[in-house]
Structure 1
């Protein structure tokens, strides 16, 4: 196994510089940081924190890094992970990446320094060298909700393809033709998957997709509101706005209400992600429900399989359409 001094020699820097890179010291230039990371990849260097995490002494702790603790989906997911881990005799330490790669890596390092037995990560879009090295080292790692390209890491995620197809069929049956989609960012696997499923479902049902009707948000309420405003300002605004997650749905709802528009008479609204308060909105919001609790439980099961030396297979659980009244159910929308 390569050592830190081997990385330093390969990159043409001092051991102290490599150490500063590993510790995210801001004094290191971007050019030097890139050169050191390249040397680490070429030498298959495993940082000490990762190497220590692979020792056999168990601490009965698991690390969980989620994308955004404000998002109700991740809150439910984290609760399920905690409950399942506790039932198996483990304690969970949670980190909130806030959808930022540098925050994610900060928690990865911290949790590995704490000698957690395994890591469950809802990865950010960027493939960082630290996560790449951890995956390459074969550490006890599982991805939750999202995947990363080129990573041979078991994942537990929801598959919304059939549910999105069912939603588009439902909207078409109600008479809707102009359907807009506020997607998540294309750099995230969930953003790409939901956009692809929506476009395929629209084509399957013979519905035209106007380019201006597909807008990329960031899974935050602010983008949901801003993009809803953009859609409603079009010369021919959509009949339906389908938001790609619950927070963007909240933003869309805020903008629709601020304009004094009625749901579904003026514009219909649907959400990917269901939350407990959707049935209590007037009208209740039609949504695609992800099995967040089951994802958390299955994620713990997969990481425990890895820790026990058992085969750990990726899991994809189906999301389901929950029809309520926000798309014109029971009304003439033609």
Structure 2
């Protein structure tokens, strides 16, 4: 026999509370006590009651839905970011809707239109490089949006992220401090992402007359990193360190060096950028730059909810990354 689905009036009758109080609990209001919240949640479970989000949006003109569009979800850094957003939103009964752009602005615009059709009240966008059509779409509907994974104080749009250029500068400087002066920098396509171009710019600024630094652009995957190392070894075997501006490229570098019969760090030092989950498990563990993905996800979620709930203004926030030294870089 199918269990009867309860209604909000049933919950009010069961708890002896008003429908308004039940609604405040369902909407995550801070104006109810923990004891009241527990009573309502227990009654909802007993009566098989679930709040109707569609009905709520009709009565309040709010969907409590936040959208995010990311380039891909293949790498764990995006998984960490999205997980932190979803966990934080759920604490206040908000929902997350997600789309993948594959780094294509036209696709990003089309996905944004779909997400707006689902009632998205705010947008989280990766990077600060987007199509004019997307800005026109969001601003024409007064939809707030925030940039993530980047930092540029010259841009007026609120952003919560990290300084890609500064962190890449610090990474190359770290290798120099370890005695490396002949360095290869392996990076993804500069034109595909403002995060990549910022990292390349930062690494270039760290170069000086005492160094010989060569840049290799390749596809942003392990096979691209492997191919870059193969090209590097054909051109210049005097390089002592490889700085990969993404951990997935560093993984490919490990493969390429292994195929060439070279050891890490004995024959070649390798440094990554991202601090993906597997970087501690690979042999040797990868020296890399940790990016605050979970902190960024939580911060952007809290700021957007505060904006939607209380009209609190968005504040651009610079998050710190750190070099994580492990076993893949030799001090020479």
Q: TM-score range by the shorter chain?
A: 0.7 to 0.9
Q: Which contiguous aligned blocks of 4+ residues in structure 1 show a shift greater than 6 angstroms?
A: 147-151
5 Å-filtered alignment, 1:69-218, equals 69-123=73-127, 125-135=129-139, 138-146=142-150, 152-187=156-191, 188-203=193-208, 206-210=209-213, 213-218=214-219
Separation (CA, whole Å) in 2 of partners of 1:130 and 1:74: 22
The separation in 2 between residues aligned to 1:143 and 1:173, in whole angstroms, is 33
- 1:19 corresponds in structure 2 to none
- Say yes or no: does 1:229 pair with 2:234: no
Indicate the SS of the match to 2:302. Answer: helix
Q: Following the alignment from structure 1 to structure 2, what is the Cα–Cα distance between the partners of residues 132 and 141?
A: 12
1:303 corresponding residue in structure 2: 304
Q: Helix, strand or coil: the match of 1:199? A: helix
Mapping of residues 306-317 of structure 1, within 5 Å: 306-307=307-308, 308-317=310-319
1:37 equivalent in structure 2: none
CA distance in structure 2 between the aligned counterparts of 1:160 and 1:148, rounded to whole angstroms: 10
Cα contact 2:126–2:149 (8 A) shared by 1: yes
Structure number with greater Rg is 2
Specify the alignment match of 1:16 in structure 2: none
CA RMSD of aligned residues (A): 2.7
Shift of 1:65: 1.2
Q: 1:320 maps to which residue?
A: 322
Taking the aligned partners of 1:107 and 1:149, their CA distance within structure 2 comes to 28
**Taking structure 1 as reference, are residues 126 and 92 closer, same or farther at Cα in structure 2, changes over 3 Å only?**
closer
Task: Give the deviation of 1:169 after TM superposition.
Answer: 3.6
Q: What is the Cα deviation at residue 72 of structure 1? A: 1.2
Native 8 Å contact 1:268 1:326 kept in 2: yes
Deviation at 1:298, TM superposition (A): 0.9
Q: Show CA shifts across 1:143-182 (max 9, x none).
A: 2214799974211111245544443343223221111111
Alignment CA distance shift 1:123-1:190 (3 Å): closer
Q: 1:233 to 1:124 in 2, by over 3 A?
A: farther
Classify the secondary structure of the residue corresponding to 2:299.
Answer: helix
Extract unaligned runs of 5+ from structure 2. Answer: 1-56
- Tell me the TM-score normalized by structure 1: 0.74
Secondary structure in 2 matching 1:182? strand
Counterpart of 1:293 in structure 2 is: 294
CA distance in 2 between partners of 1:115 and 1:168 (Å):
44
Give the deviation of 1:207 after TM superposition. Answer: 3.5
Q: Which residue of 1 aligns with 2:279?
A: 278
Unmatched runs of 5 consecutive residues or more in structure 1 = 1-52
User: Is contact 1:72–1:275 with CA below 8 Å preserved after alignment?
Assistant: yes
What whole-Å deviation, never above 9, does each CA across 1:253-284 have from its counterpart, x for those lacking one?
Answer: 22222222211122110001102221222111
SS in 2 for 1:170: helix
